[in-house]
Amino acid sequence: AQSVTQPDIHITVSEGASLELRCNYSYGATPYLFWYVQSPGQGLQLLLKYFSGDTLVQGIKGFEAEFKRSQSSFNLRKPSVHWSDAAEYFCAVGAPTGGFKTIFGAGTRLFVKA
Amino acid sequence: DSGVTQTPKHLITATGQRVTLRCSPRSGDLSVYWYQQSLDQGLQFLIHYYNGEERAKGNILERFSAQQFPDLHSELNLSSLELGDSALYFCASSPRGGAGGRRTEAFFGQGTRLTVV
């Protein structure tokens, strides 16, 4: 069965510092991987996705993620964090099994300090 | 704005009652997904409909049911409500939702916050 682990419940970084959010997944085949962001009281917005091809994917808002099959990881990075990036970030894995079920990690809440 | 519309935004009801949550997917999207988000369970996949047919089921209780209508809007029915059903319920849609393909990322609505008292 698929599963997603986000080891960090919350992370605090200074504005302008770099960011890496960790994500490990478990899935038997080539996974479909996503990162979503959720601001307070809002729905989830897709930051980026990986289906196949280049293992380094670029997303919106200056985010990128790297798929590493050997480590079953899909970590999210940003070189310089802005205060507006404070939100909750969810890693997810999708499986096209008849339908399409997306399993989310528990989320990592990002705090940005001035 | 994702283009996915959920109504109502907030709902307060008593235990034992039944409620219906409504979702209008983005124009042209055939797939609708329902998720429940709570503090203790996180984001849980409930069910996936594609063009009117149920395609995948997650951790959906027997007291809950869903359907997708010919105009592609979807409803999630929650009955015999318990305090523990209080949560944010999200609907998402995508253009496809079968096996593989590029366009399987989901676009989420703003959610319906259900409070059971």
B27-49 per-position pLDDT tens digit: 989 999 999 999 888 899 899 99
Higher pLDDT residue, B96 or A80? A80
Contact between A44 and B90 using a beta-carbon 8 Å cutoff? yes
pLDDT digits (tens, 9 = 90+) for A30-57: 788 999 999 987 889 999 999 888 899 9
- What's residue A96's pLDDT? 63
Question: Is residue A98 scored above 60 in pLDDT?
Answer: no
**Please, which residues bridge with residue B109 across strands?**
none
Instruction: Report the distance separating Cα A63 and Cα A65, nearest Å.
Output: 7
pLDDT of amino acid B78 = 98
- Nearest Cα of chain A lies from the Cα of B104 at a distance, in angstroms, of 8
Q: What is the pLDDT of residues B70-110, one digit of tens each?
A: 999 999 999 999 999 999 999 999 887 544 444 467 889 99
B50, burial (CB in 10 Å: exposed 0-12, middle 13-18, buried 19+): buried
Interface of chain A toward chain B, CB-CB under 8 angstroms: 32, 34, 36, 42-46, 49, 51, 90, 94, 96-107
The pLDDT, as a whole number, for residue A40 is 84
Nearest Cα to A34, choosing from B54, B72, B108? B108
Q: Which of B10, B31, B46, B104 should we substitute to test contact with A (largest number of A Cβ atoms within 10 Å)?
A: B104
- Given a cut of 90, whether residue B55 has pLDDT beyond it is no
Interfacial B residues in 20-79 facing A (CB < 8 Å): 31, 33, 35, 42-43, 45, 48, 50, 54-56, 58
